Amino acid sequence: MSDNSYFRVRLSQVPADLEDIITTHCFESGASGVTEALHFTQPDLTYDPTILHVRSHEMDVFFQETPSQEFFDGLKNLDAQIRWTINEEENKDWLAEWKKGFKPFKLVGDFWVVPSWLTPPPECKHAIYIDPGMAFGTGTHATTQMMAFFIHKLAEKYPKQIADWALLDVGTGTAILAMLAQMSGFGLVTGIEIDPEARRVARDNVKLNKLNDIDVPETQIEDMRQQYDVVVANIIDGVLINIKKDLMKVLRPGGHMLLTGILEERDNHFFEKFIEGSGLTVIRRLEKDEWVGYWVQSKAD
């Protein structure tokens, strides 16, 4: 084996009650890692999948060297039903591989998304520098692009008002949309995020772009007390429905709400649960790939 490869042994028909013992046996046999292929269901497309309890599992066991015969003999002794396949695979720096494919691109209007390690192209008027880390939001996803379009259109429609408007980006991720809003002229921009690592990435990107007026607090949506002129939420539809009450609470009367992350196949369900009977007026609906987005406005007092 070369230094640039490793061995992956896929175990199948692993009895659930032997999983811990088999994991111990793997490490005692020189494995560098063990992962389990979990079976789950996620009918409501929320963040909380339900793990299905099955009688037998699949596991991947990783070795730096060819596993010994004693390893396989030990598996047979534990349970004769266990089956396996073995593959030699090439080591890769996955972050470096991913970075190779992430190039500057036009997001909306004159705004470009530029990886922090690259130089903007000559035609780029306004660069939003991004170092995504583990957070969602490089700007390439259809839902992020729809939201960028909405924010841009809102800024075009209300150029004189937006400097006095407060905007809340719920689930800010890399803060790409919060930064677009700030650079488009919105006055007070706040990005909130449930994931601590994403909050760290968001704050780093805000500093990278010298947009220090953007606030990324620890506060979560249910604890927000202020009302906002614009509420932005690029979150999967099941979660949007779950947090509808909180989103409505932070939207001022007459304010605008921008919602993306709605799967087209669930659009009717989302409309019924979120928009119907809510007092929200649909200003614009977008479709891109398999996703839907809504720009809605609440009733003024």
Fold of 103-297: Rossmann fold (3.40.50)
- Determine the pLDDT at residue 47: 45
- Determine the pLDDT at residue 4: 80
Correct CATH for 5-91 of 3.40.50.300, 3.10.290.10, 3.20.20.70, 3.30.70.120: 3.30.70.120
Tokens encoding 178: 């919060």
Full 3-state SS string of the chain: CCCCEEEEEEEEEEEHHHHHHHHHHHHHCCCCEEEEECCEECCCCCCCCEECCCCEEEEEEEECCCCCHHHHHHHHHHCCCCEEEEEEEECCCHHHHHHHHCCCEEEECCEEEEECCCCCCCCCCEEEEECCCCCCCCCCCHHHHHHHHHHHHHHHHCCCCHHHCEEEEECCCCCHHHHHHHHHCCCEEEEECCCHHHHHHHHHHHHHCCCCCCECCCCCHHHCCCCEEEEEEECCHHHHHHCHHHHHHHEEEEEEEEEEEEEHHHHHHHHHHHHCCCCCEEEEEEEECCEEEEEEECCCC
The ranges assigned to domains in the chain are 5-91, 103-297
Q: What is the pTM of this model?
A: 0.75
Q: Does this chain's domain 5-91 share its CATH topology with 103-297?
A: no
- Determine the pLDDT at residue 175: 96
Residue 27 near residue 59 (C-beta atoms within 8 A): no
- Determine the pLDDT at residue 39: 58
Tokens encoding 154: 């809102």
- Determine the pLDDT at residue 1: 46
Is residue 24 classed exposed, middle or buried when 0-12, 13-18 and 19+ CB atoms within 10 A define those classes? exposed
- Determine the pLDDT at residue 228: 98
Tell me how far the alpha carbon of residue 41 is from its chain's centroid.
19
Q: Which pLDDT tens digits describe the chain residue by residue (301 residues)?
A: 456 889 999 999 998 888 889 999 999 999 999 988 665 555 554 445 555 565 677 899 999 999 999 999 999 999 999 999 999 988 877 667 677 778 899 999 999 999 999 999 999 999 999 987 766 778 889 999 999 999 999 999 999 999 999 999 999 999 999 999 999 999 999 999 999 999 999 999 999 999 999 999 999 999 999 999 999 999 999 999 999 999 999 999 999 999 999 999 999 999 999 999 999 999 999 999 999 999 999 998 7
Tokens encoding 202: 């968001």
- Determine the pLDDT at residue 92: 75
